[in-house]
Amino acid sequence: MGGLVIDIVIAYVIKFVLRLRRAWGSGKWERVKARIISSELGGGYVWNCPTTEIAYTYKFAGQKYSAIDSNPYLIKSSAQVEAERFKPGDTAIVRVNPREPQRSVMKWVDQQNEIVGVTPYLLM
């Protein structure tokens, strides 16, 4: 059982660092509306951690782009909250790198509905 927990934590840390790298500098990127295509809860508990995968499309400078934003969690119920928050057909705000418009990231802090009880590691 202890090895399983360590596997989850290691997977979480790796995915979290990759997400930080992907979002580095996005605080100054332009915010645009995106259309949610799908929202899924992925990842298992063997060599993995619960991970949301939210697929969306957006337009920037007259071009259409698509992306998938993934976000790791240590607790499945927290990941489920995010996956259920974004429904296909809904809109969300994403940040787009103006120099590389194919790069985008979705941040909780940009979404219009305030979510009560969200811990700081979810607000990236």
Q: In what order do the strands lie in the sheet with 104-106?
A: 63-72, 51-60, 30-42, 91-96, 104-106
Distance CA 99, CA 112 (A): 26
pTM of the model: 0.74
DSSP character at residue 121: G
Distance CA 118, CA 122 (A): 6
Amino acid 4: pLDDT = 60
In tens digits, the chain (124 residues) has pLDDT values of: 455 677 778 787 888 787 777 767 778 899 999 999 999 988 655 457 888 889 999 999 999 999 999 888 888 888 898 889 899 999 999 999 999 999 999 887 788 654 443 333 333 3
Distance CA 52, CA 76 (A): 10
Domains of the chain: 2-114 (2.40.50)
Burial class (CB in 10 A: 0-12, 13-18, 19+), 28: exposed
